[in-house]
Chain A
Amino acid sequence: MYYNESKLTELVLIMNKREIVKEKTRDLILKTAKEIFSHNGFLTTNTLSIARECGIAHGTLFLHFKNKETLISTIFKNELIRIANELYRITEESKNMENLLDSYLLFLENDESFFVITAKEFPFYPEKLKNEILNVEVIIRNFFYRMIEDGINAGIYKELDITDTIAFLFGTINYYLTHKELIVFDGSVINSKKESIKSIFYKLLQE
C-alpha cells in the first residue's frame, strides 16, 4: 500500500478538481469560439485568437479540440442537442405545428448572428464540415417532416410532397438569414419575418 485512506481521498479530490477545471476550460473555449465566430465568421478566425481571448495557451486549446473544424462541429452538435430536446418535447406533448415552428424560429432568433454568419459562409466550408452541419439539419427537419406526415394522415393537412414543403420552409428561412442586411437595417431578421413565414407556411399546408 502506497497510500493510506486519507491520502487516497485527497488524491481522488485532486483528480476531481482537475476534471472540473478541464471541463470548465472546454466550456470556456466553446463559448468564446461561438462568440468570435458569430462576429468574425469561421473562415477568417484562427485558433490563436480564440486561445488568446480565453486567456489560455494555444496548445491548451488543442488538448480539447484537435482543430478549428472540430470546434465548430462541436458547437453545432451542442446547439442540436439543445433544440432537438425542445422539439422532441413539443412533438410529444402538443403535437402542434405552431409551437414547433415558434420554438425553432425563437432558437434561431436568440443566436441570430451565429446562424447568419454560418448561413453565409456555408458554401465555402470544407466538405466534411458541410456534411456534419447538413446532418444536424436532417434531424431538425425530421421533426417537421413527422409533424406534417401526421397532419396529412389525420386529414388536417392536404396531401402534399413533404420533402418539397420542408425545403420551401427551410429555404425561405435560409434566404432571410443569408441576406439579412438587405432585409432589415438593424434588429433581428427572423423576428421581423416570422409572422409572415408562419402564416404562409400554414396556408401552404392547409389550402
Chain B
Amino acid sequence: MADMSHTWMRRNRMTITPLLFLLPGMLFFAAYVIIPIFQSFNISLYEWDGLGEATFVGLRNYEELATDRAFEISLWNNVKWLLLYLLAIPAGLFIALFLNQTVTGVRLYKSLFFFPFVISQVVVGLVFSWFYLPNDGLFDIISGWLGIDVRGGVLGNPNTATYGIIAAGLWPQTAYCMILYLTGLNAVDPEQVEAGRLDGAKGWRMLWHVILPQLRPATFIAFVVTIIGALRSFDLISIMTNGGPFGSTRVLSFYMFEKALSEYGFRMGYGSAIAVVLFFIMLFFIAYFLWSMYRDERAARR
C-alpha cells in the first residue's frame, strides 16, 4: 500500500510539485480576493448597516441604483476618466521620444520628468488644488490674462471640476507611461531603424511603421496600467474636491466608499451593489487584457 502511493507520487511528481508550490499563493488569493468578491455579491442583496441584522432585499439595491442620479453622474465621470486618462499614453510616448537622446545631463531631465510619479498622489492633489484656487491660484491668474473666468474656480464649478482632477491625474500617469516607453525604446532594434532609413522613411512614417510596432509590448502595458489607474481614481478626488461640488466629481469607487464606509454611510448592501457594478466594468477590461496576452503568447510559441 505504502509502496503503491510512493510510486503514485513519483509518477505524478511533475504535476504535484508545481501545485504544491502554488498552493500557499492560491490559498491567499482565494481568501483575500476570490471569496470577498462573492461575499460582496451576497451583501449587495441585503440591507445592512454593518452592525445590526441584515435583511434580504433581493435586487432592490440595484433597482435603486438605476434611479440614483448620483450613481449616474459617477458612472459618466468614470467614462470621462477612462477616455481622457488615455491621453497619458501618447503624451508619455512623445516625452520618451524627446528624452531618448544622448545629451549631457539627460539622466537628470529623465528623473525630473519621472518625478511626479514618485511623489504621493496626495501631494499631487494638494499641489493642483492650490494651482486651481480661485483668485489666488496660478491657473486663475493665467486664464484671467486670456480673458477666461471659470466661475467658482476650476474645482468649484461642477462643469470643470472633473476635468481639473483628470488633468492632475495625467501628470503622474504621463510620467509612468514615459518610463515604460523609455525602457521600450532601449530595446528598439537599430538595424531595423537603419533599414527603414535606407528605404527613405523618416519622421512620422518612421515612427508609425518602424518604431511603434516594436514598442507594442510597452504600449500594451501602458494601456493596462492607465485603464486600471483610471478606474481606481480615488485619492485625487478625495483630496481635491471630496466628491463635490454637490457630488459632481464622484466616480464609482468614491461613491462606493461614501455609501459604505464614510462618516454618513454604512449602507453596506448599497455600497456592495456599486462595487459589483464597478467589478464588472473592470472585469470587461481585465478579460480583454488576459485574452490578448494569451493570444500573444500562443502566437509567440508557434
Q: Do A and B bind each other?
A: no
Binding site for B on A (CB under 8 A): none
Binding site for A on B (CB under 8 A): none
